[in-house]
């Protein structure tokens, strides 16, 4: 009888030693960081399913706060949950004292951990996989994600993703008693643009609007097209005092420069309604209805203005 050879043991994980206590220390000793652009985290479970988070050279924060680079909107994720760093061609992870901890391949991460391609990272209800993908693979993943989450005309989130994000952020705002504001925006006289200049011109106006809107957003903000010429903008960690100046900047950015069309330049304006979450908002729909009421008032009062709902 032929005896089977025992399976080879898995290669040992690199130990965490006293000379690498923090990611900050690792970065401090890296005079010329290497930045392989194709290192990334791919979301395999959770609200960010399918999303790719490219890893830049240096450190990136993971959490649910507005200033993080890898945003995971989950009540089980801390505001600043963990830090991940790409330095010297290696990827390192450090939990930042999060409430629920960080798991690497199912094991709790203590101290600084060196990661390898294929490692699975768990933060609350999110599972991210560390990948070293070539440009073709990355383009393939991003194309699939865009097809399912983006409006192809404006490049903004589509209706399903925008409303889903709003539900998630509303829940986090209630749970942690954090400020949240939302904008409803509508292009003025859009039907007349289509009637007078054709639907091709109308599509071009929507593209230009999408570009100008994206230019005003912060990293944590989300904007989506939820109707023909109707848009939703979600402003986390923002009260009414912050939402009103943002809405005015957007209104002015849209009206500042005419949209060039064959043979003419078209003046385009928009009307906006805004709402901040208040204790009386029983659900996300109630808050959205107040923003929509502000939008209706802006149109009734002459358009090209911002009104609070």
Question: Which residues are known to be catalytic?
Answer: 229
Residues in CB range of 229: below 8 A, 6 or more apart = 186, 187, 190, 206
Say whether 230 sits in a helix, a strand or coil.
strand
Closest CA to 126 of 224, 39, 51, 237: 51
Alpha-carbon distances of 291 from 27, 204, 225, rounded to whole Å? 45, 26, 15
Tokens of 276: 């901040």
Residue whose structure tokens are 């330049």: 265
Residue whose structure tokens are 């289509």: 194
Say whether 200 sits in a helix, a strand or coil.
helix
How far apart CA 265 and CA 186 sit, in angstroms, is 20
How far apart CA 264 and CA 272 sit, in angstroms, is 26
How far apart CA 227 and CA 265 sit, in angstroms, is 25
How far apart CA 49 and CA 46 sit, in angstroms, is 5
Say whether 83 sits in a helix, a strand or coil.
strand
Looking at residue 150, the DSSP 8-state letter turns out to be: B
- Nearest-5° Cα angle at 95, 94 to 101: 150
């Amino acid at each position: 009888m032929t005896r089977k050879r025992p399976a080879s043991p898995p290669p040992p994980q690199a130990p965490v030693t006293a000379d690498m206590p923090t990611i900050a220390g690792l970065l401090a000793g890296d005079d010329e960081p290497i930045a392989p652009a194709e290192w990334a985290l791919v979301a395999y479970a959770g609200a960010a399913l399918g999303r790719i988070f490219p890893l830049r050279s240096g450190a990136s924060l993971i959490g649910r706060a507005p200033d993080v680079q890898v945003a995971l909107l989950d009540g089980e994720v801390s505001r600043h949950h963990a830090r991940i760093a790409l330095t010297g061609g290696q990827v390192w992870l450090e939990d930042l004292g999060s409430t629920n901890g960080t798991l690497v391949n199912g094991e709790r991460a203590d101290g600084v951990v060196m990661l390898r391609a294929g490692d699975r990272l768990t933060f609350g209800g999110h599972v991210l996989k560390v990948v070293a993908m070539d440009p073709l693979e990355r383009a393939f993943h991003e194309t699939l994600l865009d097809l399912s989450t983006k409006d192809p005309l404006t490049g903004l989130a589509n209706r399903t993703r925008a409303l889903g994000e709003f539900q998630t952020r509303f829940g986090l705002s209630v749970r942690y008693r954090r400020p949240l504001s939302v904008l409803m925006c509508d292009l003025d006289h859009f039907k007349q643009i289509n009637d007078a200049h054709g639907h091709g011109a109308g599509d071009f106006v929507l593209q230009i609007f999408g570009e100008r809107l994206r230019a005003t957003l912060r990293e944590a903000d989300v904007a989506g097209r939820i109707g023909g010429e109707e848009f939703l903008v979600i402003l986390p960690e923002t009260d009414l005092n912050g939402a009103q100046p943002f809405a005015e900047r957007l209104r002015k950015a849209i009206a500042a420069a005419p949209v060039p069309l064959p043979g003419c330049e078209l003046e385009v304006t928009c009307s906006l309604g805004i709402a901040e979450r208040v204790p009386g908002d029983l659900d996300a729909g109630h808050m959205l209805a107040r923003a929509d009421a502000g939008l209706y008032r802006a149109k009734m009062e002459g358009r090209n203005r911002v009104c609070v709902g």
